[in-house]
Amino acid sequence: MSSTPRTPLTGSGSCTVAVCRGCCCGNARKQQPGTDPAWQLELLRAGAAEHGFQVRTTDCLGPCDQADVIVVRPSAAGRRAGGRAVWIGFVTDDDSTEEVVRWAAAGGPGIAEPPLTLELQFIRPPRDARVRSRR
């Protein structure tokens, strides 16, 4: 795969970044010192505004022990190319957040290869999420 987008990445043709903001993710009292959940959302939203992908917040996604959790869902084109939702854990610093932005800007799952260091943070989705994503 190339890191160059093959399809327009705006509107419904773009990938979606789902940012967990449940009981643990984004909860400043449960974060390590120096983590800034509000700034993380600002980075993601600025990237979305510049590059045309979608950012949404969600309630608890399940794997709280791997907070902060972000799920990058493929665009329609990405899904047709074999891309599936990718779960990323421990997204608590600017570096990993900016890698999520770069990957989503390049097209996300099925369209662009993820940064290698971000790949190290990929986590297994909870079982019920895996069942839902196959439907």
Contacts with ligand FES, residue ranges (CB under 6 A) = 20, 22-25, 60-64, 67, 69
Q: In terms of CB distance, is 59 or 134 closer to ligand FES?
A: 59
Q: In terms of CB distance, is 67 or 100 closer to ligand FES?
A: 67
Nearest distance, CB of residue 109 and ligand FES, angstroms: 19
Nearest distance, CB of residue 73 and ligand FES, angstroms: 16
Nearest distance, CB of residue 65 and ligand FES, angstroms: 8
Q: In terms of CB distance, is 81 or 129 closer to ligand FES?
A: 129
In DSSP terms, which residues pair with 86 in a beta bridge? 72
Nearest distance, CB of residue 112 and ligand FES, angstroms: 25
In DSSP terms, which residues pair with 73 in a beta bridge? 16
Q: What is the DSSP annotation of 53-122?
A: -EEEEES--S-GGG-S-EEEEPPHHHHHTT---EEE----SHHHHHHHHHHHHHT-TTTSPPPHHHHTTE
Find the residue with minimal CB distance to ligand FES: 22
DSSP label of 16:
E
Helix (H) or strand (E) holding 17: strand 16-20
Query: Can you give the C-alpha Rg of the chain in angstroms?
Result: 14
Nearest distance, CB of residue 54 and ligand FES, angstroms: 19
Q: In terms of CB distance, is 1 or 64 closer to ligand FES?
A: 64
How far CA 130 is from CA of 59, 83, 134, in Å, comes to 17, 14, 7
Q: In terms of CB distance, is 76 or 90 closer to ligand FES?
A: 90
